[in-house]
Structure 1
Amino acid sequence: MYSKTFGNVSVNEMVNCIKGFILSDKNYNYKITIGTDSQNKNITKVVVVVAIHRVGRGGIFFYEIKYVPKITNVRQKIYYETALSLELASKLSKSFKRAHIKEDIEIHVDIGTNKNGKTYELIKEIAGWITGVGYKYQIKPYSYAASCIADRISK
């Protein structure tokens, strides 16, 4: 994972950075989100983001970039993005327990509520998958980890 604040870090180092960020100011609430977005060119550039929001006071984020063969099917792309987010959430949940970080993780998905949009029909199944494995989720316009941070890096 990479952070503009901390540079290249392993998952364990990232967990320590997150813990330090939270402990540095306990007067605030924190929101930890994971989101993924991708863009197609000759291949698909996929960006997975972990964002830690100090509510009312900014935040920090980490990201990883992957390059995979071009994914042209929208359903397949959204499922792949969601799977990557959930995989990282599972790893972080275990690491958070060991590090005594009690913040919940929320999954942000780059799908929208526009009934004419390409991803609208996926909302129920993706939401069911995420809640079925025990996480809360957000979709556009509230899915900033995927729809804003990961989107910007993926371009």
Structure 2
Amino acid sequence: METQQETWQNMTGKIFRKPIIQLVEEAIILEQANGHRLKVCVGSDSHVYGDTVSYATAVVFVREGKGAFTFIRKERAVQRISIKERMLNEVNKSVEIAYAICAVLENYNVEMEVHADINTDPEFKSNTALRDAMGYILGMGYVFKAKPYAFASSNCADMMV
């Protein structure tokens, strides 16, 4: 039985009913065959609607000098949580996907970054999770990016959440 987590889509809403590992490998093979140099950026964002938190995780393929395309996974949870816990949930969702696809990326020599929708300015509430998020991502061995450089979470996932 397929779960919501196994359903990915692109920015136009086209649904892909394949595991993200397969989608990533197929995309890399196609893009490299077309001569594109790639980098993959993974990021998540969330919005709160009453007692519901909606999450979106984006896997963004950046073609060096030739634009980008994205796979998105959406999820919902009924919960009341703090801003710090919600930010760390976003990071956890990103790291989960990064971990799932890292072997495929290594096979094809594709770089990866993990983006956190966390502001580096202490004046913003999300900043309370910055040190924990950075430690988690860097501790997993991934390249870490926060706002304003975290476009996978701050722009791509944000548009779809």
Calculate the TM-score normalised by the size of structure 2.
0.85
1:152 Cα deviation from its structure 2 partner: 1.0
Unmatched 5+ stretches in structure 2: 1-7
> CA-atom RMSD, angstroms?
1.9
Give the corresponding residue for 2:63: 54
Q: Does 1:110 align with 2:117?
A: yes
Offset, 1:6: 6.3
Q: Helix, strand or coil for the counterpart of 1:36? A: strand
Counterpart pick for 2:108 among 101, 108, 111: 101
Equivalent residue runs for 1:69-80 within 5 Å: 69-80=78-89
- Contact 1:29 1:55 (C-alpha < 8 Å) held by counterparts: yes
1:27-66, aligned counterparts within 5 Å? 28-42=36-50, 43-66=52-75
Percent identity over the alignment is 21
Q: Which digits, 9 at most, give the CA deviation of each residue in 1:108-128, with x for residues without a partner?
A: 000012221002232222111
State whether residues 88 and 129 of structure 2, in contact with CA within 8 Å, keep that contact through their aligned partners in structure 1.
no
- The 4+ residue runs of structure 1 with deviation greater than 4 A are none
Give 1:2 deviation, angstroms. Answer: 1.4
Which residue among 81, 101, 109 is the counterpart of 2:90? 81
Show the counterpart of 2:5: none
Instruction: Report if aligned partners of 1:108, 1:143 keep a CA contact under 8 Å in 2.
Output: yes
Matched, 1:140 2:144: no
Number of residue pairs aligned between Structure 1 and Structure 2: 151
In 1, are the aligned partners of 2:25 and 2:104 still within 8 Å (CA)? no
- Structure 1 residue runs of 5 or longer lacking an equivalent are none
CA contact (8 A) 2:40 2:60 kept: yes
When the two structures are superposed, what TM-score results if normalisation uses the length of structure 1? 0.88
Q: Aligned equivalents of 2:13 and 2:94: distance in 1?
A: 22
Describe the shift of the 1:35–1:18 C-alpha distance in structure 2 as closer, same or farther (beyond 3 A): same
